Structure 1
Amino acid sequence: MFIAQASKYTQSFWKYLVIPILFFGLMALNYVAVEFLEIDMNQFMQEEIARKGANRVLAENLSAFVLFLGGLLFWVKYIHRQPIRALTTSRKKVDWGRFGFAFILVAVVNTIIIVADYYSNPNDYLYNFRPEPFLYLVIISVLLIPLQTSFEEYFFRGYLMQGLGLLGKNRWVPLILTSVIFGGLHYFNPEVTKLGNIIMIYYIGTGFMLGIITLMDEGLELALGFHAANNLITALLVTADWTAFQTDSILKDVSEPSAGWDVLIPIFVIYPVFLFILAKKYGWKNWKNKLFGKVVPSNT
C-alpha cells in the first residue's frame, strides 16, 4: 500500500526522472571534478577543518541536504501533487511514536557498542571532549543531521521506492535497486579508501535493512528514526581523521583503520535482532508478499 498509494497522485513517470537525474548528475559531476583536479579529499578536509574548525565544516556540508530535502518535498507536493504524508507513510497520519522507538533502539545499541569498545580497547581512543565545541556540535547535529538522513530516506526509501515500484509493479525491484544504489553511493566515502571494499557489504546491507523495514511497516517512520539515530550518535560520540563525519566528538578513534569479517556482524547479527524486535512490536506478517509481492496501482 505504501508504494501503490503514490499512483493516486502520479500518472506520468517522467516526473520521477527529473530529481534522480539532477541528484545523480550532481554526484557524478562532483566525482569527475575531484578526479580531474586530482584533489586529495582527505587532505582537503583536514585543511578546511584547520582553517574553519570542524563544526563549521560539518554545518556547511550538512546544509546542502537542507536544500536537497526542500527541493524534493517541493517537487513531490507541487509537481506530483502528492501529500508529503503519502510519501512518508500509508497510515492516515505520520506515526511519530514509530520514529521515536526506532531512534531510541538504535541510539541505545550504538552507544553500548561504542562504550564497550572504548573500555575494551582504551588505547584506540583519545578523550576528545571540550565543552564549548561539543555544545556547538550538539546544536548543529540535532538541527541538521536529521535533515540529512531524512533526505536520504525520503529520496531512496520514499521517492525512488514508490517510483520504481509503480514502474515495475512489484516490491522486490525497488528493494534491491534502492539498497544497492544507496550503498553504492557510499563508495566515495573516505572510509572505503581506508577500510577497503569489504565495508561496502555494510553500506549495502544497511540499505537492505532500511528498505525491508519500510516495506514491512508500510511507511518511512522506522527508517527515519533508525537512520537519524545512527548518524547522530556516531557524530556526537566518536570521530576519526579518516571518516566522512569529522567532528568535535567526545572520543577520537586513533587506531590504525582496518576492516575484516567484523563488518558483517551488524548485517548478520545486529540487524536481524532489530528486525525481530520490530516485527514483534508491530505485528509484521506476510513477509513474502510485502517484500516480493506485486504492486497494484490504485486511482481511488
Structure 2
Amino acid sequence: MLHALSFDRFVAPARLRPQIWRLCLGLVVLTAVYLGWMALMGAAVMGASIWLQGASRLDVMGLGSTPASLVAILFTFTGLALGAFAAARLVHHRSIASLFGPWQVVWRDFGVGLGIFLALSVPGVVYVVLSVDLGRGVAWTVWLAWLPVALVGLLIQTGAEEVVFRGYLQQQLAARFVSRWAWMVLPSVLFGLMHYAPDEMGGAVWMIVFATGFFGLLLADLTARSGSIGLAWGLHFANNLLAMFVFTTGEALDGLALYRLPFGLKDSDVIAYMVGLDVAGMVLVWAVCRWWLRAR
C-alpha cells in the first residue's frame, strides 16, 4: 500500500493534463530543444577545435576517445534534460521538480542506489582486475585530473535519461493508462533502442539493446515502488561509472577508462556471456533494492 501511495503521488502532477496529444507535442518540444542544444555544442566544439588545431575534430568527439571529447558528450545530455523541462512546463504546465519526485527522497535514494550497486560490484571488479589480461587505459594522473568534471557530466547524463524515461514518459503514460505495458514496458523498450549503435556493437547490438532495455525495466519498477527517480538514478550513475571510467572495450566512450578489456563489442560469443552475467547482476541489484524498499 505504501508503495502504491508513493507512486500515486509521483504520477499525480501528470494527471492534471494527461492527454496523449500533449505527450506527443511534449516529445516534439523535447526533441527540438535537445537537437538545438546539440547544434550549439557542435558549433562550439568545431570552432574551438579549428582555433586550437586548425581542423575539425567532431569525429573524435563522436567516439568519446579522449577525456575532453568524452566530457563534451556527457554534457550534451544537458539538452535532453532541458527538453524534458520545457515539455513539462510549456505543454503540461507542471513544475520541473515534479519530474524528479520529492527532493529529500531523490537524494536519499540516489545515495542508496549508488551504494548498493557499487557494493555488489566489488567482487566482480576484483575478479576482473586479478584474472583478466587487461590493457591500460588513461594514466591515473589524467584520470584524477579529469574525474571531478567528468562526474558532473555523468550526473547530468544519467539524470537526463532518468528524467526523460523514468520521469516524464513514465509519469505521463501512467497518468493516461493503467496497464504496466504502457507506462513501464514502453519507456524501457525506447530506452533500449536509444542505445542501438550497430557500427560500434556489430553482431552484439541486439543483445546489448535487450540488456539495456531490461535494465530500464528494472529501473521503472523501482521508480514505481519508491515514488521518485532517485533510486534509478543512483543505479544508472553507478553502472555508467564502471562502464565508462573503469572498464571499456575500446570502441567508443573510452576516453577516461582506466582499463580496456581484451575483447570488443563485435566479439559476439564473449559479449553474449558477458551480457548474461550483466543481466544476472542487474537482477541481484534490483532484488536488494526491492528488499531495502520493503524494509524502510
Is TM > 0.5 for Structure 1 vs Structure 2?
yes
The one-letter amino acid paired with 1:265 is: L
In the superposition, relative to structure 1, how do residues 133 and 19 fare at CA in structure 2: closer, same or farther (>3 Å)? farther
Alignment match, 1:246? 254
Alignment match, 2:25? 18
The answer to whether the aligner puts 1:224 opposite 2:236 as a matched pair is no
Counterpart pick for 1:119 among 130, 133, 148: 130
Identical aligned pairs, as a percentage? 19
CA displacement, residues 230-286 of structure 1 (integer Å, 9 cap, x when unaligned): 11232221233213x22232212233542224412332x32232232222222189x
Residues 135 and 259 in structure 2, CA contact (< 8 A), matched pair in contact too: yes
Q: Which moved more, 1:136-145 or 1:91-100?
A: 91-100
Residues 62 and 73 in structure 2, CA contact (< 8 A), matched pair in contact too: no
In the superposition, relative to structure 1, how do residues 145 and 175 fare at CA in structure 2: closer, same or farther (>3 Å)? same
Deviation at 1:128, TM superposition (A): 2.7
The one-letter amino acid paired with 1:246 is: D
Residues 153 and 223 in structure 1, CA contact (< 8 A), matched pair in contact too: yes
Other structure's SS at 1:85 match: helix
Counterpart pick for 1:73 among 68, 72, 85: 85
Gaps of 5+ in 1: 31-43, 286-300
Deviation at 1:144, TM superposition (A): 0.6
The one-letter amino acid paired with 1:115 is: V
Partners of 1:160 and 1:284 in 2: how far apart?
Answer: 28
Alignment match, 1:5? 12
Alignment match, 1:290? none
Partners of 1:97 and 1:189 in 2: how far apart?
Answer: 37
Residues 69 and 151 in structure 1, CA contact (< 8 A), matched pair in contact too: yes
Instruction: Trace 1:4-83 onto structure 2 (pairs within 5 A).
Output: 4-10=11-17, 12-21=19-28, 48=60, 54-83=66-95
Partners of 1:190 and 1:51 in 2: how far apart?
Answer: 11
Greater helix percent: which structure?
2
In the superposition, relative to structure 1, how do residues 208 and 2 fare at CA in structure 2: closer, same or farther (>3 Å)? farther
Partners of 2:231 and 2:198 in 1: how far apart?
Answer: 25
Partners of 1:50 and 1:166 in 2: how far apart?
Answer: 37
In the superposition, relative to structure 1, how do residues 115 and 49 fare at CA in structure 2: closer, same or farther (>3 Å)? farther
Partners of 1:54 and 1:271 in 2: how far apart?
Answer: 29
Deviation at 1:54, TM superposition (A): 0.4
Alignment match, 1:162? 171
CA displacement, residues 193-228 of structure 1 (integer Å, 9 cap, x when unaligned): 263432222112111111111112222110011111
In the superposition, relative to structure 1, how do residues 179 and 53 fare at CA in structure 2: closer, same or farther (>3 Å)? closer
Deviation at 1:83, TM superposition (A): 2.6
The answer to whether the aligner puts 1:201 opposite 2:192 as a matched pair is no
Residues 88 and 94 in structure 1, CA contact (< 8 A), matched pair in contact too: no
Deviation at 1:176, TM superposition (A): 0.9
Alignment match, 1:180? 189
CA RMSD of aligned residues (A): 3.2
The one-letter amino acid paired with 2:189 is: V
The one-letter amino acid paired with 1:252 is: R
Residues 216 and 284 in structure 1, CA contact (< 8 A), matched pair in contact too: no
Q: Which moved more, 1:54-63 or 1:132-141?
A: 132-141
Partners of 1:252 and 1:138 in 2: how far apart?
Answer: 18
Q: Which moved more, 1:148-157 or 1:102-111?
A: 102-111
In the superposition, relative to structure 1, how do residues 48 and 253 fare at CA in structure 2: closer, same or farther (>3 Å)? same
Deviation at 1:62, TM superposition (A): 1.7
Residues 65 and 254 in structure 2, CA contact (< 8 A), matched pair in contact too: no
State the TM-score, normalizing by the size of structure 1: 0.76
- Tell me the number of residue pairs that the alignment of Structure 1 and Structure 2 aligns: 265
Counterpart pick for 1:101 among 87, 94, 112: 112
Other structure's SS at 1:283 match: helix
The one-letter amino acid paired with 1:163 is: Q
The answer to whether the aligner puts 1:147 opposite 2:159 as a matched pair is no
